[in-house]
Amino acid sequence: MIDNAAAGSPTSHAPSPTDAFLGDPAVQEQWDRRYAEREQLWSGQPNGALVAEVAGLTPGRVLDVGCGEGADAIWLANHGWDVTAVEVSAVALERATRHGRDAGVTVRWVHAELTEAAFAPASFDLVSAQYPALLRTSDAAAERALLAAVAPGGVLLFVHHAGVDTHPQHDGGFDPADFVWPAMMAALFDDDWVVEVDEQRPRVAPVGGAGAHHVDDVVLRARRLR
Ligand SMILES: C[S@@+](CC[C@H](N)C(=O)[O-])C[C@H]1O[C@@H](n2cnc3c(N)ncnc32)[C@H](O)[C@@H]1O
């Protein structure tokens, strides 16, 4: 794990090639390639569903899963949250840390796969996964890691593009069966959880960026009771 937020410092620095990535190098490489195709992949704006859902929450410790180029993490830090952001792509994380430094915010940037990051159980008041592209495994490791990270009383916010989970396999190699979708998360909530939001709604799309063509979101928000 890389903790780039030095105590007392509002800055963060980019991961260097010597930083130890915790995870499958093939997953990192795949995302690094995607990010390297453009100088900026996403819009640079926080996701609309995050902004809407966080509005009623008291800032605390938040984990941003698959933080990409850092717009959500930086927005959260600017709104009083103590932010940890985990990301597999070194290319994305370098951009995120640079944007964080430019914005003068403190974010703990972690270069790892969610399942390998070994976050302390129940250590976040909010776990936010915005279009997270988590790989599905038979033991539901990613889903369980998301659930385990939420503290009692805390919230899991899982947002995805509506309809993508039912797309036929794309020629480019994208197969929805490879990924974790909101319905899979919802199926894992037991009596310790209450679902507060589970709906499809028009996406408040940031201007620009590679995801601008998506129209609707599926928003799943659940609170851990104990
Ligand atoms: C579709 S992008 C969304 C990025 C960002 N959340 C946003 O909304 O702009 C998915 C991100 O998840 C990252 N990612 C994929 N698998 C991951 C994993 N297992 N752990 C952490 N990050 C992961 C990718 O590198 C990519 O940056």
Q: Is the CB of 75 under 6 A from ligand 1?
A: no
Helix 25-36 and helix 90-103: axis angle, to 10°? 60
pLDDT the model gives residue 10: 33
Residue range 98-113, pLDDT digits in tens = 999 999 999 999 999 9
pLDDT the model gives residue 224: 98
Closest residue CA from atom 11 of ligand 1: 66
Q: Identify the weakest region by mean pLDDT among 47-56, 120-129, 173-182, 206-215.
A: 206-215
Q: Pick the closest to residue 149 from 134, 138, 165, 164 (CA basis).
A: 134
Q: Identify the weakest region by mean pLDDT among 11-25, 85-99, 178-192.
A: 11-25
Closest residue CA from atom 8 of ligand 1: 130
Q: From the CA of 132, how far away is ligand 1's center (Å)?
A: 5
pLDDT the model gives residue 164: 84
pTM of the model as a whole: 0.91
Residue range 2-43, pLDDT digits in tens = 444 433 333 344 555 457 999 999 999 999 999 999 999 999
Domain ranges of the chain: 4-12+42-224
In CATH terms, the fold of domain 4-12+42-224 is Rossmann fold (3.40.50)
CB 128 within 8 A of CB 101: no
| Banded pLDDT at 171 (limits 50, 70, 90) | low
Q: Identify the weakest region by mean pLDDT among 5-19, 106-120, 142-156, 173-187.
A: 5-19
Among residues of the chain, what percentage have pLDDT more than 70? 87
Dihedral of the alpha carbons of 163, 166, 168, 171, in degrees to the nearest 10:
60
pLDDT the model gives residue 15: 54
Buried b (16+ CB within 10 A) or exposed e, 157-194: bbbbbbeebeeeeeeeeeeeeebbbbebbbeebeeebe
pLDDT the model gives residue 113: 98
Q: From the CA of 45, how far away is ligand 1's center (Å)?
A: 15
Six-digit token string for 168 = 């036929």
